[in-house]
Structure 1
Amino acid sequence: MSNLDAIWSDLTQWEASMNEKDAQLARQKPIHNQKLPPVRKASEIVVNDSLKPAGLEALSMRTRPMVEEKGKAPVNKGKEPASGPRMKPSEKAMLEKDKGNACFQKQDFKAAITHYTKAIDFDPSNAVFFINRAMAYLKLQMYLEAEQDCTRGLNLHPTNVKALWRRGIARRSLGRVTEARNDLTKALEIEPSNKSVKDELSKLPVPTPKKEEKPKIERKRLPIKIVDEAYPETTNTVKKQAVTPPPKQTPTPSKEPAVQATPSQNQPPPPPPPSATKTTKSPTKSEGTKPSLTLSPISFNPPKTNIEFERDWKACRQRGMDTLYQYFQCIPPSSYESLFRSSLESDQFEQMIDLLETRYTKDKSNNEICNVLEGLTKVRRIDMLVMFLDRKHKSALEGLIKSLKGSVDDSTLAKLSKVYDVKL
């Protein structure tokens, strides 16, 4: 405890001394007219690039002390002395350009691009550096970069034939044929005897002449007279014939016996006239019903894709259940799996059940109904579609599957009842 008390007393003394110093500093007045030392003069520092070590030489140079005697110049092997003239940026740019040309001749296009880029950094006002780098980009099939460099070179030198020629090549490779033709044509105008430009211009496709647009013919709207084909004119004649009663024959007195007037038993009775049979079946206008018109079957092609099926299904549904039934018949059940996949909708599935219940049970055999139900079991998400069916369609499915007993083998029937959740 004695040690802790000593430490605590030291802390309190230090705190008291710090507070006293802060109070003294706060009481001091600021000195505004205090004299400060003069500002030093600026001096230029010349750095000799030739003495700058690089790479492994830098490590060895650090270990060696560089001692230079007074009055003697530093020893430089193969390099300019420090007191020699400095190179201008344009001269450095030309050196880099020459290095780039040497790399280009060796087909080292990436190294050539590096040297041309350094030349541009030293002297960006020279169009030749951009145009040379564009040619290296063309060799590497970097057509967009080549076009950009040619455009920069043309901004500096608008009548440079090489820049126009190389930009035409780049634009042709990019698929911009019209712009490429404009560049090559302009290059030929500047230098008509340039063979390279002519050869490149001959590679371009010949432009097709634009067709003259014919003046639009003004069309007038005419009223359309709708003719109802469900009531042909023949029905009027039939009804008129039906209304007119057959002529009555007045019996004439005869002296022959009554036995001869009756027809014989071997002679068949005369058939009724066709007009009479038609009038008995067709209702008249007074009954207030319209004559039923049987639709001729329409030939459909089975759909190949689900998009085509949805388009046709929607169109046929608007025309009625008869048209929808004819369209559904043309789709083979073996193609349900590849056609619908996982895109069969709930309303489409319910309409298929309605067709099976109302049309297939009357016109088709049990084997055909079984083929349709079995084909639908292979469709993806069929269990989800069955789960969300309402009571009406679930009972319709149950009735269809139960009606197949006796005409379908038990294994197929058990599979159908399992998929469609029907208890047999």
Structure 2
Amino acid sequence: MDKALGIQKQIRDNAKTVNNYLTDLQNWEVEMKRKEAALNGQFEQDLPPVRSRAKKEKPVQVAKKKQEERIHSSDYQAWEKFDVEKACEEVDMADVGPTSLDSKRSESAKLEKLREEAQYEKGRGNTFVKLAKWDEAITCYNRAIELVKDDAIYYANRGLCYLKKDSLHLAESDCTEALRLDPTYVKALQRRAAARERLGSLRAAATDLTRVLELEPKNNQARTQLSALKTRMGTKGSKSKSSPPSPLSPSSPSTPVKETKPVVTNIVEEKPAIKLESADDKWRDGIGENITVIKPVKKPPHLRSKRPLKPITIKEIQLGKTTIEKPPTRLKIEEIPDTNGSTDSNKTEPERLTNERGDFSPESTKLVQDAVTKEKDVKSLTPPVNSVQFMTQWKELQGNADAQSDYLSIIDPCKIPSIFANALESSVLSQLVSVLHAHAHKFSRVTAYLQALCNVKRFSALAMFLSVEDKQHLTKILEHCKTVENSSDEVIEDLKNKYEL
């Protein structure tokens, strides 16, 4: 949007420049004709008129344009023919006024208008600063700087906003630009000193504060800040450059140097004080317990990671336990005698021993365990209310098509559009089609699910990304709907059009 506005402004400026050039050219042509007529003797002398025949010059009346009829709001054809650029140019020319012969008056009027607009944007930015809305204030100051680039106040105010947002390098550069335009701007010096102090450039910040005290000796805030900086740098109480040289300095050879005896002092190392931790501190740090305590990490905003947050499943564990209880890995199988009274005489000896002892191979044990856990997971499933719940459960069932089909079967087809809203993705749509194709026998009405997916927002865009395999699955699903569910031909044709088959 900003680029489009910039292009429009450039077009208007170019049109005004051409108009001024043509006006100057026309005036020059008239002047040349007048001089040529004077050289040829055709110049009429400007003599006073005959008495009583003098005609008063009538003021030049500017022909008023007829006020055009306003276009009615419902007249769309007239609005299509309306030239917006020409109307904007007429408004701008009415504000600036007719161009003069040398274009100086028009240029000054333009500059004055630009400064008024810049002052307006600055006032808006100051209002946002009072409300602590730094981003909006920066936008206003950016517009003011685009209009007038030689005003130090705009740069200094924008530097204050960057300083409040912890954008320290940008704040320093803006204050530097403001000081380039006005080296005696005290506020810019103070704000640059604050930015440099927080960036760690203590000497540069001290230089700025010293300059502030030179300009305003009664500035107590700058004096306090400078003393704090000197304390941090370890220079508080040191002699300045204007102090007299010391006797040991090589610049004063004539002064006698007294011999000083070295004084030996014993330095006693102080042992760090042992901090006694209370019971609450031990509990917070997890001392004496076999657990890992996760503490929050405090970082400034400019050092924090920009990566998106990942959801982590939190499970409750009783205090003192380090592992999560898992379901048993072995199942005890009991023999059930046949009604005819027959036993396992037909089985081989290893098979009967396996049934008696309950020993299984690792592969069979894993298959039985997965079957039990999947059966428990399917029983514990509940219909989702929104897309977040659906995607969370759907990802947990990833790789288990049977469980996904069971989960999809407990969802009412009428609620699918409200569950997904705008969150349906092409990959999820492809997975849903694959599940419906592979497990169509589990659903009472597959047609209802296909129709419900068509009612999801942005479905027409998602249907464009269906692969060839997905469309083959959809063709077979529609055959199932026609033969097994006895869906009408109109419904089948409608679904083919919507899925672009």
Fold shared by both chains (TM-score > 0.5):
no
Which has more radius of gyration? 1
Which band: TM-score by shorter chain? Answer: 0.3 to 0.5
* TM-score, normalization by structure 2: 0.31
* TM-score, normalization by structure 1: 0.36
